[in-house]
Structure 1
Amino acid sequence: MGTLTKRKYTGNRYRLDKPELLAPAGNLEKLKFAIHYGADAVYIGGQHYGLRSNADNFSFEEMKEGVEFAKKYGAKVFVATNIYAHNEDIEGIEAYLRKLHEVGISAIIAADPAIIQVARKAVPELEVHLSTQQSTLNWQAVKFWKEEGLPRVVLGRETSMDEIAEIKEHVDIEIEAFIHGAMCSSFSGRCVLSNHFTDRDSNRGGCCQSCRWKYDLFEDARPSAVWVSEEEARDNRVLEQFNLGVNQLPLYDEQDNPFSMGSKDLCMIEHIPDLIDAGVDSFKVEGRMKSIHYVATVINVYRQAIDSYMADPDNYVLKPEWIEEINKAANRPLNTGFFYDTPDHEDHIYEPEEKAVPYDFAGLVLDYDPETRLATIQQRNHFKPGQQVEFFGPGGTFFKQTVGKLWDEEGNELDAARHPLQPVKMIVDQPVSYFDMMRKRK
Structure 2
Amino acid sequence: MRCLPELLAPAGNLEKLETALLYGADAVYLGGEQFGLRAQADNFDLEQLSRARELTLRKNRRMYLTLNAYLLPGETEACAAYIDALRSLDIDAYIVADPGVLALVKAGDPEREIHLSTQANTTNAEAVRFWVGAGVKRVNLARELSLEEIRAIRAATDAALEVFVHGAMCVAWSGRCLLSAALTGRDANRGLCTQPCRWSYALVEKTRPGRYMPIEENGRGSYILNSRDLCLLEQLPLLVNAGVDSLKIEGRMKSRYYVAAVTRVYRAALDRYLEDPSAWQCDPVWREELESVSHRPYGTGFLLGRDDAQLHAEHGGYIRHCDFVGEVVSTAADGCGEIVGRNRFFPGETLELIGPGMRQNRFVVGQPMDMAGLPVAVVQPNARVVLALPEGARGGDLLRRNRPAQDASHP
Same fold (TM over 0.5): yes
Specify the alignment match of 2:284 in structure 1: 320
Indicate if the aligned counterparts of 1:67 and 1:105 stay in contact, CA closer than 8 A. Answer: yes
Deviations 1:21-78 (A, max 9, x none): 1111111111111111111111111111111111111101000000111111111111
Specify the alignment match of 2:258 in structure 1: 294
Specify the alignment match of 2:246 in structure 1: 282
**Structure 1 residue 128 corresponds to structure 2 residue 114:** yes
Specify the alignment match of 1:21 in structure 2: 7
- Matching residue's letter, 1:176: E
Deviation at 1:256, TM superposition (A): 7.4
Distance in 2 between residues matched to 1:383 and 1:112, nearest whole Å: 47
Deviation at 1:18, TM superposition (A): 2.6
Moved more, 372-381 or 160-169: 372-381
- Matching residue's letter, 2:293: A
Distance in 1 between residues matched to 2:179 and 2:332, nearest whole Å: 54
RMSD after superposition: 2.1
- Bigger radius of gyration among the two: 1
DSSP 3-state at the match of 2:203 = coil
Distance in 1 between residues matched to 2:140 and 2:74, nearest whole Å: 26
Q: CA distance change for structure 1 residues 403 and 255 in 2, over 3 Å: closer, same or farther?
A: closer
1:407 to 369, 391, 401: 369
Calculate percent identity across the aligned residue pairs: 40
DSSP 3-state at the match of 1:425 = strand
Indicate if the aligned counterparts of 2:226 and 2:316 stay in contact, CA closer than 8 A. Answer: no
Deviation at 1:389, TM superposition (A): 0.5
Q: CA distance change for structure 1 residues 412 and 94 in 2, over 3 Å: closer, same or farther?
A: same
- Matching residue's letter, 1:59: D
Distance in 1 between residues matched to 2:360 and 2:314, nearest whole Å: 35
DSSP 3-state at the match of 1:296 = helix
**Structure 1 residue 441 corresponds to structure 2 residue 402:** yes
**Structure 1 residue 103 corresponds to structure 2 residue 77:** no
Deviation at 1:395, TM superposition (A): 0.8
Specify the alignment match of 1:307 in structure 2: 271
Distance in 1 between residues matched to 2:168 and 2:316, nearest whole Å: 17
**Structure 1 residue 56 corresponds to structure 2 residue 42:** yes
Indicate if the aligned counterparts of 1:217 and 1:259 stay in contact, CA closer than 8 A. Answer: no
- Matching residue's letter, 2:332: D
Distance in 2 between residues matched to 1:214 and 1:93, nearest whole Å: 37
Indicate if the aligned counterparts of 1:22 and 1:282 stay in contact, CA closer than 8 A. Answer: yes
Q: Which runs of 5+ in 2 are unaligned?
A: 404-411
DSSP 3-state at the match of 1:250 = strand
- Matching residue's letter, 1:417: V
Q: CA distance change for structure 1 residues 414 and 255 in 2, over 3 Å: closer, same or farther?
A: closer
Moved more, 286-295 or 67-76: 67-76
Deviation at 1:122, TM superposition (A): 2.1
Specify the alignment match of 1:150 in structure 2: 136
- Matching residue's letter, 2:279: N
TM-score (norm 1): 0.86
DSSP 3-state at the match of 1:92 = helix
Matches within 5 A, 1:315-394: 315-342=279-306, 346-351=310-315, 353=317, 355-357=319-321, 359-370=322-333, 372-394=334-356
Q: Which runs of 5+ in 1 are unaligned?
A: 1-9, 11-15, 222-242
- Matching residue's letter, 1:37: Y
Specify the alignment match of 2:406 in structure 1: none
